[in-house]
Amino acid sequence: MAKKTYDLLFKLLLIGDSGVGKTCVLFRFSDDAFNTTFISTIGIDFKIKTVELQGKKIKLQIWDTAGQERFHTITTSYYRGAMGIMLVYDITNAKSFENISKWLRNIDEHANEDVERMLLGNKCDMEDKRVVPKAKGEQIAREHGIRFFETSAKANISIEKAFLTLAEDILRKTPVKEPNSENVDISGGSGVTGWKSKCCS
Amino acid sequence: MEELSESSPALAFEKEAFELTVEDVYDISYVIGRDLLKISTTGEEVSDLQFKIVRVLEMFETLVNKYNLSLEELKMERDNLKSELDRIVRESSAGQEAQTLGPNKLVVDLKDPNRPRFTMQELKEVLQERNQLKAQLLVAQEELQLYKSGMLPQGEQAMVEVDLVSPSPSKPVPDTTDETKEEPNEGMTTIRKLFSFRRK
């Protein structure tokens, strides 16, 4: 068999209301850059980033969806293939927080049952405009048994940590396929701290 | 001749029939009466003719009067109908979505260059193609990078894959991790062919 440049391929998906910063979160992670001009995503886009976790090269194929309702039928058809889904809201936008339950229902309806979910409260650099307290984000995440981070794509807060944590969570439940692989220990404590993570403090 | 240069009454004879007013009829009567006076001295027959001419002029007066009134009425009626039509057109264009269309219908302005034109299915296909091409570009870039840096040993080909098998909601994918590695798509084989060709 031919040699691969990576050991595993993880497919992730970003969902959430329009304008919460999904594309910016992804752009920060993939290109370590930030752009203030708002360009609404048309339908669906993706980026690739290869990370190394526990001695394994993991290629992350991250799908970025349009938050606008009019693209709903296109975006939901991409849920099925996702192994991890990041649900993003905007801490300065109450509506985007209220819609979390709607997005979670979408996941239930369209995604695989064992998909790893994660909640992100983005734009946490804008403390003066905050309308969603961090505790409310933590609470709803706890209720649904999912991890939570407050992030800022602009200030580069917890972005990489969120993606790596999600990838680690997927890696943890990925059965080891290659017995000759040098490192089999996946359960090793890699310091995954979901709910305890700090942002902007 | 001199009557014409006197400007007013005789000018009524110059007018178009449908432009005549009652005043013009009076002018005509005045001119005819004056001319009749010049020959009235002759006797019975002339005065009888004079009487008949007066009668005809009276009938003429009535007809012109009636015609002008009708014309005025018709003009007013026309203006009324015109403004009524304008009002209806204005109202219907304003309340069209609510009245003639259902609650879930959208009105499209055919003159708007930015009007929606493509279906969701078309957009879906374009996006899939775009993403596929993007994936192929990434693959090609990666292979090129490996090739340049000399990491590609002779005879061995790097296999860099991105799974972009278009997701179909009706057909659930059982294990997404595996499927990619086992079925590389067309674009990548093309790229690989290209590379192996150049290596020879």
Q: Do A2 and B158 touch (CB under 8 A)?
A: yes
Mean pLDDT, residues B99-126 = 84
Mean pLDDT, residues B22-34 = 88
Q: Is residue B132 part of a domain?
A: no
Q: What's phi and psi for A53, nearest 5 deg?
A: -130, 125
Asked whether residue B110 carries a pLDDT value surpassing 80, the answer given is yes
Query: What are the helix (H) ranges across chain B?
Result: 2-5, 22-39, 44-94, 96-99, 120-148, 176-182, 186-199
Q: Is residue B80 part of a domain?
A: yes
Reported confidence tier of residue A26, pLDDT bands at 50, 70, 90: very high
Q: What is the pLDDT of residue B42?
A: 63
Spell out the residues 6+ positions from residue B169 whose beta carbon is closer than 8 angstroms to its own: A76, A77, A80, A110
Neighbours of B158 (CB within 10 A): 19
Which domain does B43 fall in, by range? 7-98
Q: What is the pLDDT of residues A32-43, one digit of tens each?
A: 999 999 999 999
Residue with tokens 């981070």: A149
* Residues of chain B positioned with their CB less than 8 A from the CB of A5: 142, 146, 158-160
Q: Is the dihedral of CA B41, B45, B50, B53 positive or negative?
A: negative
- Cα A2 off chain centre by: 31
Q: Which of B106, B118, B120 to mutate to test the interface with A (most CBs of A within 10 A)?
A: B120
Q: Do B123 and A76 touch (CB under 8 A)?
A: no
Mean pLDDT, residues A131-136 = 97
Domain containing A86 — which CATH number?
3.40.50.300
Lowest mean pLDDT among A82-96, B4-18, B44-58: B4-18
- % of chain A residues with pLDDT over 70: 86
What ipTM is given for this predicted complex?
A: 0.71
Asked whether residue A114 carries a pLDDT value surpassing 90, the answer given is yes
Burial label for B156, CB within 10 Å (0-12, 13-18, 19+), is: exposed
Q: Is residue A1 part of a domain?
A: no
Asked whether residue A54 carries a pLDDT value surpassing 70, the answer given is yes
Mean pLDDT, residues B131-148 = 89
Asked whether residue A181 carries a pLDDT value surpassing 70, the answer given is no
Domain count, chain B: 1
Q: What is the pLDDT of residue B7?
A: 61
**Helix, strand or coil, per DSSP, at residue A152:** strand
Q: Is residue A153 part of a domain?
A: yes
- Please report, as a single letter, which amino acid is at residue A158: S
As a residue count, chain B comes to 200
Which of B77-101 are b and which e, b meaning 16 or more Cβ less than 10 Å from the residue's Cβ? eeeeeeeeeeeeeeeeeeeeeeeee
Mean pLDDT, residues B167-173 = 44
* Residues of chain B positioned with their CB less than 8 A from the CB of A4: 158-161, 181
Asked whether residue B61 carries a pLDDT value surpassing 60, the answer given is yes
Asked whether residue A154 carries a pLDDT value surpassing 60, the answer given is yes
Reported confidence tier of residue B41, pLDDT bands at 50, 70, 90: low
* Residues of chain B positioned with their CB less than 8 A from the CB of A74: 120, 123-124, 127
**Nearest-CA neighbor of A80 among B5, B171, B66?**
B171
Domain containing B25 — which CATH number?
1.20.58.1770
pLDDT, mean over chain B? 75
Two structure tokens written together for B52: 């008949």
Q: Is residue A199 part of a domain?
A: no
Q: What is the pLDDT of residue A94?
A: 97
Asked whether residue A198 carries a pLDDT value surpassing 80, the answer given is no
Neighbours of B3 (CB within 10 A): 14
- Does residue A65 contact residue A14 with C-beta atoms inside 8 Å? yes
Per DSSP, B40 falls in state G
- Cα B120 off chain centre by: 27
Reported confidence tier of residue B9, pLDDT bands at 50, 70, 90: confident
Q: Is residue B23 part of a domain?
A: yes
Q: Is residue A14 part of a domain?
A: yes
Per DSSP, A122 falls in state E
What is the spatial distance between Cα B183 and Cα B166, in angstroms, rounded to a whole number?
13
Q: Is residue B141 part of a domain?
A: no
Q: Is residue A12 part of a domain?
A: yes
**Helix, strand or coil, per DSSP, at residue A88:** strand
pTM recorded for the entire structure: 0.59
Q: Is residue A120 part of a domain?
A: yes
Q: Which helix (H) or strand (E) holds A89?
A: strand A84-90
Q: Is residue A83 part of a domain?
A: yes
Domain count, chain A: 1
Which domain does A137 fall in, by range? 8-173
